[in-house]
Structures are given as structure tokens and as C-alpha cells.
Amino acid sequence: MTSSDARGAARRALRAGRVLTGLGLLAVAAAYVRAIAFTDIEAVQGPAQKIMYVHVPSAWCAFLAFGLVGICSGLFLWLGDRRLDTFSEASAEVGVVLTGLVLITGPMWGKPIWGTWWQWEPRLTSTLFLFFLFVGYLTLRRTMFDPAERARYSAVVGILGAMLVPFIHLSVYMFRTIHPRPVVLNPEGPTMPGSFVATLLSSLAAFTLLYLGLVTMRYGLGRLRELREARHVPAA
Amino acid sequence: MFLLREPPANGGFMIAAYTVVAVVLAGYSVMLMVRARKEEKREQ
């Protein structure tokens, strides 16, 4: 692929990312309307239960983002394609934003329901570690100037970070914890009324669309920057 | 006999959580769009 082909592909990714992000934001707005105005208030937890419709999709997309970082990092180490490294960086950045939302909305639900903002229990603590680990991953990338070395080291950290994701999902089964078990992805099937599940699934779809838009736009941005920097590096 | 009661009044937490999520997601989207626009201008 020539340099101008690569720049054309990056610009196309940016355009696609903008469109998908716009659609994703509209879908999230529609999911808000459905959750707030057209979904019943849960009798025991009250309106605070509706925080689940933004907390769970944020967590799902964050885990998807970090899972893809792990997969693309592994593929990068195998194939050596720089685009996989750029995608990993894009997905990690979006994942950190989403994990931040998980860590903010979780305590907002915990305070009225548990009576406390935070508990040092396995699910919460390991999610906090995951957040710090990927903040470290992004920091590492900014402190290394050799692109090949940066990509290689980041790939190793990305794979190790992604390995935390299944552990976090299963932590509610492995340890005694006050965090609720998964309400949809659990062996006994959904543990909520059908209308609640439908709202949660529509919110999941909206957040996933927004994640796809953000990661595509961030990937296009990363590729354009890389190609510009490559033009200014003198040949060895 | 069923005991009916009002759900707890904790809507403030829900509004706060939804507001934070909306502000962060919209803010990050706009920030990415601005960064992309700047990068495209540098390219030209």
C-alpha cells in the first residue's frame, strides 16, 4: 500500500467514524428516553435502578474495547502490521473513557442501594486496577519515541491487561461479593422482567454503536498522525 | 396480603449518573472530532 493510499484509507476511517459516532450519540439519546420515560420504576430500588441502563452498557463496551486490545496486540506481535497497533491504542483510549464512566456510575448506584459509595470487594477493586493498568498503557505509549519498540512493549502490556477482563466478569462467581451477578449473561437466564431486559439490550446496542464510531474515528486520527510523522523521519 | 409501598425517592442519583455519562460521551466525541479536524488541516 502506497503512502497516499494509506492516507486515503485513514481519511475514510475518520469519515466513517464521524458518521457512526453521530448515529451512536442519537441512539444513546433514544436509549435515555426509553429508560427514563418508558421503563417502569423498580419497586425496591426505585429510580436509582435505572443507573444500570448506562452502567452495564459502559462496562460491556469497556470490556469489548480491552478484549479487542488484547486480540489486536496478539495479532500485531504475530503479523507485525502497524495498523493493528494503532487500533489497539484507539480501543484502549475509548476503553479508558468507558471504564471511567463505570467507576463513576457504579458508586452513584451503590450509595442509595448499598448505603456506601465504595466497597473494596473483588469486582470493584479489579475494575479499578483495569482502569489504572490501561492508563499506564496509554502513558507508556506517550513516553516511548521509537515506534517499533513502543508497539512491541505496548502489545505485551495490552495482552496482559486484557487477561483481566474474563477474571473481572467471573469475579462475582469466584468470590464472596456484594456486587450483583450478571442479569443477562448468567447461566440461569435473565433475572429481570422482559421490559427491563429489552431496555437494557437497546441501551447495550446504542453504546456498542457509539463505541464503534469512537474507535473508528480515533483509529483514523492515529493513522493520519502516524503517516504524517513517518514523512518527517529521515531514512536511515 | 400484599404490602404496597412507594419506591424510594432516589431519582437524584439517576439524574446525576445520566448527566455525567451524557457530558463525558458527548465531550469526548467532540474532542475527537476537533483533534481529527486539526490533523486533517495539518495534512493539507
* Domains identified in chain A, total number: 1
Q: Tell me: the pLDDT tens digits for A33-79?
A: 999 999 999 888 999 999 999 999 999 999 999 999 999 999 999 99
* Cα-Cα end-to-end distance for chain B: 75
Contacts of A172 (CB under 8 A, 6+ apart): A122, A123, A179, A180, A181, A182
CATH number, domain with residue A157: 1.20.120
Q: What is the mean pLDDT of residues B7-31?
A: 95
> Residue B13 is nearest to which of A36, A111, A217, comparing CB atoms?
A111
From chain A, the residues in CB contact with B42 under 8 A are 228
Report yes or no on whether pTM surpasses 0.90.
Answer: yes
Say whether B22 and A32 touch across the interface (CB within 8 A).
yes
Interaxial angle between packed helices A164-174 and A52-79, expressed in degrees from 0 to 180 and rounded to the nearest 10: 140
**Does B26 contact A at CB distance below 8 Å?**
yes
Q: What is the mean pLDDT of residues B4-31?
A: 92
From chain B, the residues in CB contact with A218 under 8 A are 32
Whole-complex ipTM = 0.91
Best residue in A20, A97, A117, A210 to probe B by mutation, most B CBs within 10 Å?
A: A97
Question: How many CB pairs below 8 Å do chains A and B form together?
Answer: 102
Domain of A80, in residue numbers: 3-232
Q: What are phi and psi of A42, to 5 degrees?
A: -70, 135
